[in-house]
Amino acid sequence: MRILIVAATTPEVAPIAAGLRRVADRGPRLEGYALRAHDVDILTTGIGMVATAAWCSRVLTLAPYDLALNLGVCGSFDPALEPGRVVHVVSDRNAELGAQDGEVFLAIEQLGLPGEYDCLNQTPPANAALARLPRVRGITVNTVHGNDGSIAETVRRFSPQVESMEGAAFMYACGIAGVAHAQVRAVSNVVERRNRAAWKLSEAVESLRLTAQDVLADI
């Protein structure tokens, strides 16, 4: 099986890569590894949906993949999803796609424009470790939330449970390529006014590593 692991930053994926056998440098931002009889490529896209969409689209045209995994951290809107918890994002969308009309935000659907706005993973890979994770709704943003009013309005409009800066771009690219995929994220912080002191980034990365090991072991 050929597997593609996608992460935004090196710190998110380095602990996972450490458990694999490095084989080769496959090109810009892409490194090749081996896991048992599987080929595993790790793509580090950089932060944001534009970089993720562009690099994923490029790499997915270079080789046929049987499975793609997006591994990273996220913020949580859901009090039940505390920092350190790992989730499987099965629904995602670009929450900022739309237009302003004075003080009112019009979601893209309200503008009557054609297109596909929700990324739904209706047939995730059959994997025991993946199946044990909570399935959640996510949003993808260019600007992470840190304003009480904006947070409340986003929750009212979309009822998201988590947010990231890359997830929907990954899912959309995999959908176009027809590649089985899963977006797996560890909660690093509660979505609130910016409070880095309350973040548990190292705990989230460790939880992500352990979960990724379990998912890869079940392949």
Question: CA 36 from chain center: how many Å?
Answer: 25
Whole-angstrom distance, CA of residue 59 vs CA of residue 162: 26
pTM recorded for the entire structure: 0.94
Total number of domains in the chain: 1
Q: What pLDDT does 97 receive?
A: 85
Q: How far apart, in whole angstroms, are the C-alpha atoms of residue 119 and residue 103?
A: 27
Residue 207 is part of which domain span? 2-217
115 pLDDT higher than 80: no
pLDDT exceeds 80 at position 116: no
Dmax over CA atoms of the chain, in Å, equals 57
DSSP 109: G
Model confidence pLDDT, tens digit, residues 139-159: 999 999 999 999 999 999 999
C-alpha 143, offset from chain centre: 15
The pLDDT tens digits for 30-85 are 999 999 999 999 999 999 999 999 999 999 999 999 999 999 999 999 999 999 99
Tell me which DSSP letter residue 42 carries.
E
Judge contact between 162 and 75, C-beta under 8 A: yes
Output the domain CATH number for residue 119.
3.40.50.1580
